[in-house]
Chains A and B, each alone.
Chain A
Amino acid sequence: MSMKSSTRQVDGVTIVDLSGRITLGEGSVLLRDVVRDLVTKGQRKILLNLGDVTYIDSSGIGELVSAFTTVRNQGGELKLLNLTKKVHDLLQITKLYTVFDVKDDEATAVAAFK
């Protein structure tokens, strides 16, 4: 299954609901385009909901890192929500878990934005 995304606004935070696979090719390109589009439109508080992401490879991890730095470089914040065990383990292995602000509750995540 390829990746799908949809966005919604909650209390000034843009939540991007992602599902499917974030892998080299279509999935990672879609994530890149979504985040860049949001930043271009002036969105600075972005929450990526990964609850329905079934698989992520090193290219997908790279895109998450790129999204994080892209938003941060524009003075914004990007947080992650609802990691599956697979994605959680991958971020632990790659030592990125402490780089990202990871939440498991949407309301808490939204409230955590400055």
Chain B
Amino acid sequence: MTANRVSYTLDSSLQSVNLAEETAQLIAAKAGFDEDNCMRISMAVREAAVNAVLHGNAYDPRKRVTVAFENTGQALVITVSDEGKGLDISTVPDPTTPENLLKQSGRGIFLMRSFMDEVRIRLLEPGTEVTMVKNVSGPAAHNKEASK
């Protein structure tokens, strides 16, 4: 992996969600992640994009979603931000507890955390920024360890 960064500014639409997912799949594959991890990364990005479009910007055509991918060499760092009212993470319940298990929604952030090595959420003014990190654990990482 060599360090580089690419950023997309997208409409608040379902097409943008699909585009973010497809782009994540391509970038993850190019970064050398295996098929399972490419699926996990693209799904985490899809969930973040859904939250940005649906819950953040509420499909508002005046508001944009920004998706950025950075390949640091050690990890793929993905940032998804919106221009909505902002997400208070303390209000998001654990979807796996018995009282929440049969709720229809509320699993997006849980899946992001399940599939990525690190997920950080911070409030913008306005909006929410989700940063997700997937570490390289393949040959590149092993080579780095070996060279220390």
Contacts and interface: CB of A to CB of B under 8 A. Distances in A.
Interface of A: 23-25, 57-59, 61-63, 65-66, 68-69, 86, 90, 93-96, 99
Interface of B: 14, 17, 39, 43, 46-47, 50, 54, 95-96, 101-105, 107-108, 110-111, 114
Per DSSP, are chain A's interface residues mostly helix, strand or loop, or mixed? helix
B50 A57 contact: yes
A59 B17 CA distance: 13
Per DSSP, are chain B's interface residues mostly helix, strand or loop, or mixed? helix
Contacts of A69: 102
Contact of B105 (A62, A68, A96, A99): A62
Max chain A Cβ within 10 angstroms of own Cβ: one of B17, B96, B107:
B107
9 contacts: A57-B46, A58-B47, A58-B105, A59-B50, A65-B103, A69-B102, A94-B107, A95-B101, A99-B102
Contact of B107 (A61, A66, A99): A61
Nearest to B54: A24
Given A24-B50, A61-B107, A94 B95 contact: yes
A66 B108 CA distance: 16
